[in-house]
Amino acid sequence: MSQGKYIGVLTSGGDAPGMNAAIRAVVRTGIYHGNTLFGINRGYQGMIEGDIEQLNRYSVSNIIKDGGTCLQTARSSEFLTKEGREKAFKNIKRFGIDSIIVIGGDGSFRGLHQLIQEFPIQGIGLPGTIDNDLYGTDFTIGFDTAVNTALEAIDKIRDTASSHSRLFIIEVMGRTSGYIALYTGIGGGAEDILIPEAPMDMQKLTAKLNAQHKAGKKSSIIVITEGEAAGGAFEIKSNIEKVIEWDIKVSVLGHVQRGGDPSAFDRVLASRLGYESVLAVMNNENDKMVGMANNTATLTPLEDTWTKKKDMDMTYLKMNEVLAAQQEKALEVIA
Ligand code: F6P
Annotated catalytic residue: which of 51, 66, 98, 131? 131
CB burial of 301-334 (b: ≥16 within 10 Å; e: otherwise) equals bbeebbeeebebeeeebeebeeebbeeeeeeeee
| C-alpha–C-alpha distance, residues 82 and 84, integer Å | 5
Mutate to test the pocket of ligand 1, among 110, 149, 175, 195 (most ligand atoms within 8 A of CB): 175
CA-to-CA separations, 213 to 249, 258, 327, in angstroms, rounded: 15, 34, 14
Q: What is the DSSP string of 275-328?
A: HHHHHHHHTT--SEEEEEETTEEEEEEHHHHHHSPPPP-THHHHHHHHHH--HH
Instruction: For residue 311, indicate whether it is catalytic.
Output: no
Is any atom of ligand 1 closer than 6 Å to the C-beta of 173?
A: yes
| C-alpha–C-alpha distance, residues 215 and 227, integer Å | 31
User: Could you tell me which of 72, 16, 21, 29 has the C-alpha nearest to residue 47?
Assistant: 72
Burial class (CB in 10 A: 0-12, 13-18, 19+), 335: exposed
Q: Which domains does the chain have, with CATH numbers?
A: 6-142+262-307 (3.40.50.450), 143-258 (3.40.50.460)
| C-alpha–C-alpha distance, residues 171 and 194, integer Å | 9
Region of 2 on the Ramachandran plot (φ > 0 left; ψ -120 to 50 alpha; else beta): beta
40 near 108, Cβ under 8 Å?
Answer: no
Whole-model pTM: value is 0.96
Nearest-atom index, ligand 1, CA of 174: 6
Side chain identity, residue 229: A
Is any atom of ligand 1 closer than 6 Å to the C-beta of 256?
A: no
How does strand 122-127 pair with strand 288-293? parallel
Is any atom of ligand 1 closer than 6 Å to the C-beta of 14?
A: yes
* Per-residue tens of pLDDT for the chain, all 335 residues: 888 999 999 999 999 999 999 999 999 999 999 999 999 999 999 999 999 999 999 999 999 999 999 999 999 999 999 999 999 999 999 999 999 999 999 999 999 999 999 999 999 999 999 999 999 999 999 999 999 999 999 999 999 999 999 999 999 999 999 999 999 999 999 999 999 999 988 999 999 999 888 888 999 999 999 998 888 999 999 999 999 989 999 999 999 999 999 999 999 999 999 999 999 999 999 999 999 999 999 999 999 999 999 999 999 999 999 999 876 554 444 44
Cβ contacts of residue 121 below 8 Å, gap of 6+? Answer: 89, 92, 98, 99, 100, 115
- Ligand 1 midpoint to CA 255 (Å): 8
> Per this entry, what is the length of the chain?
335
Is any atom of ligand 1 closer than 6 Å to the C-beta of 129?
A: yes
Eight-class DSSP state of 205: H
Nearest alpha carbon, ligand 1 atom 14:
14
| C-alpha–C-alpha distance, residues 116 and 187, integer Å | 41
- Ligand 1 midpoint to CA 165 (Å): 32
